[in-house]
Amino acid sequence: MAVYIKPIPTLTGKVAEKFEKIARENEKKRGTVDFSREVEMTKRILEKSNLRRFK
């Protein structure tokens, strides 16, 4: 027995333009995550446990 696979809907017209505009705006606002604090904590933990093999 075959299972019907629904087609993926495609945005067209004004909806597609609006989606692209919002996507471009959000891409410009994109930020980064600073993990420096977590990295330092991990280094300290590994130094205390003598499991750190490289710097």
Cα gap 34→23, rounded to integer Å? 23
Any idea where the domains of the chain sit in the sequence?
13-49
Tokens linked to 50: 């003598």
Structure confidence at residue 52 (pLDDT): 58
Cα gap 1→35, rounded to integer Å? 51
Regarding predicted confidence, which is higher, 31 or 13? 13
Cα gap 48→42, rounded to integer Å? 10
Q: How many CB atoms lie within 10 A of CB 20?
A: 11
For the entire predicted model, the pTM comes to: 0.45
Structure confidence at residue 3 (pLDDT): 87
Nearest to 55 by CA among 45, 42, 43: 43
